[in-house]
Amino acid sequence: MANYPLSDRKFTWAFAFIWICWVGVHAWLLNSLAGITWAMALIDSFVSNVLLGICCLAMTFKLAFYRPRHDTYFFSFIVTLALAGIWVCCSQWLLQVMVTDSEDYLLFVRQSWPLRFCFGFLIIGWITVLNLLWYTQEERQQSHMRAQVTEKQAKEAELFKLRQQLQPHFLFNSLNSISALTLSRPEQARHMIQQLSDFLRGSLKKEHQELVSAGEELQLLQLYLEIEKVRFSHRLNTEIEVEEGAYSLQMPPLLLQPIVENAIKFGLYNTTDSICIKIAVRALPDLMEIRIVNPFDPESPPQKGTGFGLSSIRRRLYLIYARNDLLETIAEKNMYTSILKIPQHA
């Protein structure tokens, strides 16, 4: 059941005040236009408007509990006619019972029923229309809220799925490297297992956070790079430059690791030489810019991949910031640059 209008206390008091004022105006009209004494006019106004108020309340509660899906307005029109008829009959009967010593007034009551019926129909109809508009607006707001909740839950589920898909992708590579190191370099294998444990523990803590500081993200990235340096030894070098004031800027968690993983893959897999991956973090007005630059051999056949890493980052950024221009890639000569832009909101 939707909230009915009288559930709003301010609306109820305003409605009661207007109704009381109308009782006085109604009595004045009966006295000045119909020539009825003030005593009779007050009795007539009070009895008629109390019964009319009961009919209006009946319509309000009827619409609160039951509104037909089809032909709502026609159904409400019929009910309004019926309530107006019931109101005229009850008010005339009650007035004739209460006032028995004034034939002129009783004659006025009997002769004025068509006018009273039209008046009652207009008032009850007006209340009906207000109620229908109220409930229509309530249903729209509730539908909008349900749509927002559903959309938010779907977005959170997709973000969670994207984050979860990144972990096995990296984990399988690390386990393969540990397996290869177990016999040839067992000490490094144990060290890599410890680093992998620290990385996974840190990433799990960030899973349920929407935003983390750039400093936290870089600490987690450093753990990842240490694992990769065990795999590739002296062949992998990194340079990380962070502008002063950028450490506290906010960004989605676990965003840099797949970009750096992509840089390592396309920088190292086609060469036996050592490479250097450069990461620069800058603080711009209302924006954090992260550039990741890695060398590659343009003449070598491109590495085949699923394309999941960068596409998942674009999708995550779109779900969080509703923008498609936050990840840019540039290939010039033998350098590949990934430019990541993170809006900073108050």
pLDDT bracket for residue 3 (50, 70, 90): low
Domain boundaries, the chain: 5-146, 185-343
Q: Which one-letter amino acid corresponds to residue 51?
A: L
Tell me the per-residue pLDDT of 240-275, one tens digit each, with 9 for 90 and over. Answer: 999 988 999 998 887 888 888 888 888 887 677 888
SS (H, E, C) 155-202: HHHHHHHHHHHHHHHHHHHHHHHHHHHHHHCHHHHHHHHHHHHHHHHH
CATH class in words for 185-343: alpha beta
Reported as type and span, the H/E element at residue 280 is strand 275-284
Task: Supply the pLDDT for residue 160.
Answer: 62
Residues 80-84 have a mean pLDDT of 90
Number of H helices, E strands in the chain: 9, 7
- Residues 199 and 223: beta-carbon distance below 8 Å: yes
Tell me the per-residue pLDDT of 135-147, one tens digit each, with 9 for 90 and over. Answer: 888 878 888 888 7
The CA distance from 39 to 101, in Å, is: 13
Tell me the per-residue pLDDT of 51-68, one tens digit each, with 9 for 90 and over. Answer: 988 888 888 888 777 777
Q: 224, exposed or middle or buried, with CB in 10 Å at 0-12, 13-18, 19+?
A: buried
Q: 114, exposed or middle or buried, with CB in 10 Å at 0-12, 13-18, 19+?
A: exposed
DSSP 333: T
The answer to whether the Cα torsion of 31, 36, 37, 39 is positive or negative is negative
Task: Supply the pLDDT for residue 306.
Answer: 43
